[in-house]
Chains A and B, each alone.
Chain A
Amino acid sequence: MANELNQLLFRIRDGLATTVEVQRAHTLVMIDERLPVGLRQAIDFREDAVGDAVGLLAVLGADSLFGEVLREGIAADLAEVDEHTLEASNRDELLLEEVWPLAEAFVAAVRQEAGTIEMAAAVLDVLGLESPQLPVAEAVYDEAGVVEIAVDWHVDIEQAWVSAMVDGELPPEARHAAIRKLREDPAAGAEMTVFATLGSDLRAAVQDEAGETPYLWSGVAEGIGVDAEAVAGWDGALFAAAVRAQAGEIQLADEVMAQVVTPLPSMVEEPPPLPQPANSRRWGGLLMALAAAAVLMVALPTTWNQNTTGTAAPVAQASAQFASAGEIVVEALEHGDNSTVHQIMGDQGAVILWIDEGEAQ
């Protein structure tokens, strides 16, 4: 059912769902216990079915909020900001989050997406960003060869302020100017999306340009003058020598094997000899047969004449063949004031009338 609901929500989000599909999605939402009860009751796909679908997909973790919808939301939010509000307020206190509530979450998401990638100095210079100190970068660069990535990225140098704003690196005055410019140029939102995927794009571009890279650490280690197998603070030879000095010369093999290899217990044991009967067995068989016959004569009639009273034994339940949608018609369906009823289908197609009492008792 979870997959079906997700698929329906995607169709609603994309404007491809029929009325029946929207109703089906509403039904599935009503009984989906992954969702809070209040949310289930609030979602009705009437006023803003697309918005409801987008929100549900985000809550269910099936889709992120980034992309076209977010950009449109950002533009819509910024369009509501009053120009005078920006100028009259204290610049030191006006934060991007006051005009764009999603900014903090967006910046965090961008940073998470960009990862800890180490960017070549040349690329960083082009973007006007501070180049970090990367002792390994040169070795990697030499190994990967010349990489032409600036052009493939379609990065516009004039849009460097967008990247800086996403990273929170603009001073307050510049930030206000950036906000005004963003309002004037909604297309800049698309650039912000580009930078949100900057990290993954960079990695893909480097790999496309340089090809599959072999194991680099050995070359890098040699380039920076360290042992590729070395671990800081660890000397295996010293450790072994210290153990030998402490333990001395020990021949463990024989003593250890003597403890480990123990004789397995025999699986077959000779049983103790059976005692021979002391009594005569001449008439034993006849007497046993007569005794068995006597027991049967007494026990069987008692069983046959047993009068069963009380509740009957439960009937062996035969599996029910559940009606499919074409074999049952719900002609009337009503519910009480404290409940709702939905007609849904089980995983094997059985028709289920689902009663929703709301909060669990």
Chain B
Amino acid sequence: MSRILWMLLGMLWVCTPALAQSRGPHVQQVKASPTQADITPAAGRVGVEIRVVHANNSGQVDPKLKDVVDNLSFLRFSGFALLDTHHVKLGPGQKATFGLVGGSKLTVTLVSRDARAAKMRVLMTSSKGVLMDTTVNIHRNRAFMVAGPNHEGGKLVLPLAVRY
């Protein structure tokens, strides 16, 4: 019986610091992963999500890209891979630049916004210079795609979603 008591005391001695740490006043703030709510900003700013998708002939399709693949069957690529995802919140007049694969860059500027739609300027450049410079007026919580640049035997597809 005494041996069991010693074991219990030993366990309590080991566990006490962890318990104190979890209940103490100096708990470190946990940085949670960004959720959908985080990119849906407060009034005035617009959340922009940019996915970098590689259309290729690998035969493997990322299930998370179903919404993209459903619109691109005419490309006749057998594989779609998600290379990267960018999230940014922009206020009117603000812009953000993202480096894409192969040295290309994408600059997104929120020109203006109202309750119905947002005016976005999208500038895509490569090592050869400007590929595209467009200004679109897109309905809130909608997305469109920029696609076509060559990449490793396939094509880059960039779905841009605007959320507010």
Contacts and interface: CB of A to CB of B under 8 A. Distances in A.
Interface of A: 1-2, 31, 33, 283, 286-287, 290-291, 293-294, 297-298, 300-302, 304-309, 312-323, 327-339, 341, 346-357, 360-361
Contact of B146 (A293, A305, A353, A357): A353
B39 A315 contact: yes
B147 interface: yes
Given A304-B22, A318-B36, A357-B150, A298 B14 contact: yes
B115 interface: no
Given A297-B19, A337-B129, A328 B136 contact: yes
23 contacts: A1-B74, A291-B11, A298-B15, A301-B22, A307-B28, A315-B39, A317-B51, A317-B64, A317-B82, A321-B141, A321-B142, A322-B142, A329-B137, A331-B119, A331-B136, A333-B133, A334-B132, A336-B131, A347-B73, A352-B145, A353-B144, A353-B146, A357-B126
Given A305-B22, A360-B153, A328 B139 contact: yes
B159 A320 contact: yes
Interface string B75-88: 01000001001010
Contacts of B2: none
Contacts of B85: 314-315, 317
Contacts of B32: 308
Pairs A-B, 3 closest by C-beta atoms: A346-B71, A1-B74, A355-B148
Contact of B149 (A306, A313, A357): A357
B5 to A, nearest CB: 11
A316 B15 CA distance: 36
Given A298-B18, A304-B22, A356-B148, A322 B131 contact: no
A54 to B, nearest CB: 23
B132 A341 contact: yes
A308 B145 CA distance: 33
Interface in B107-133: 119, 122, 124, 126, 128-133
Contacts of A355: 124, 131-132, 146-149
B4 interface: yes
Contacts of A286: 4
Contacts of B14: 294, 297-298
Contacts of B159: 320, 322
Most chain B CB neighbours (cut-off 10 Å) among A2, A350, A356: A350
B51 to A, nearest CB: 7
A307 B31 contact: yes
Contacts of A332: 133-135
Contacts of A349: 71
Nearest to A293: B11
B42 interface: no
A315 B132 contact: no
Given A290-B8, A335-B130, A353-B132, A305 B143 contact: no
A97 to B, nearest CB: 38
A351 B71 CA distance: 9
Contacts of A341: 131-132, 134
A307 B29 CA distance: 8
B128 A338 contact: yes
Interface in B6-59: 7-8, 11, 14-15, 18-19, 21-22, 27-28, 30-36, 39, 49, 51
Contacts of A321: 141-143
A357 B134 CA distance: 16
Given A297-B19, A341-B132, A283 B4 contact: yes
A323 to B, nearest CB: 4
Given A297-B11, A315-B87, 7 more contacts: A298-B15, A321-B142, A323-B138, A330-B135, A339-B131, A355-B124, A355-B146
